[in-house]
Copies of this chain bind each other. A is one copy, B any other.
Amino acid sequence: MTKTEKEPVAGLAALPGFPLVLVTVKQNILTAAAFSFFSFQPTPAVMVGIRPATYTFELLQHAKDFGINIPTPDQLDIVRWVGSVSGREEEKFNREEPTPMEGAVIESVLIQECPVNLECKLVHQVQYTGSHHWFIGNIVAVHVDEEYQRDDAIMYWFGEYRRVGEIFYKGR
């Protein structure tokens, strides 16, 4: 092994990938890989990092909730289209796909085509920021397609869309 010292951003580029999700706030959608687990207890919770220039960020200032929708590799067209336009310019449910789906609890829309939808109640905005502002949401309802497996999700980072890799070991 020969290690060389690199610039800080190389540390981010070295990371393998994060779950790619479609974040829904009110009637808008944003593609995000700045997405993470937050907590198991007292309530299962996740967090998402949003750039302040986005329409989603603007909507989140007055929203009480958001949806996390997990797309699959065969939904790449939806993912890329959603990520290519701003909700300020185009209503993202104006096409044949994606199809809006009503939540059981939250006001924000969900995406019917995605096999997993998490309904999240916005509970905290992290008070330290950089390129992204992080929002924490408690999961209040979940919808899962009976045929969904974790292998069906997409991982993304630094321009690379990946399938979920194979399991090589099971254990805690």
What is the copy number of this chain in the assembly?
2
Counting chain B CB atoms within 10 Å of each CB, the highest count among A5, A38, A127 belongs to A38
Neighbour of A155 across the interface among B2, B143, B145, B155, CB < 8 A: B155
Neighbour of A159 across the interface among B2, B138, B171, CB < 8 A: B171
Given known pairs A12-B139, A17-B19, A151-B16, the reply for A3 and B166 (CB within 8 Å) is no
CA distance A42 to B68 in the complex (A): 27
Interface of chain A residues 11 through 43 with chain B (CB within 8 A): 11-19, 33-43
B44 touches A164 (CB 8 A): no
Counting chain B CB atoms within 10 Å of each CB, the highest count among A2, A16, A159, A166 belongs to A16
Neighbour of A2 across the interface among B8, B33, B145, B157, CB < 8 A: B145
A140 at the interface (CB under 8 A from B): yes
A129 contact set on B, CB distance < 8 A: 39
Counting chain B CB atoms within 10 Å of each CB, the highest count among A6, A104, A123, A140 belongs to A6
Chain A to chain B contacts (Cβ below 8 Å), 12 pairs: A4-B143, A6-B144, A15-B153, A16-B19, A34-B37, A37-B49, A41-B131, A45-B130, A80-B171, A127-B127, A155-B164, A159-B172
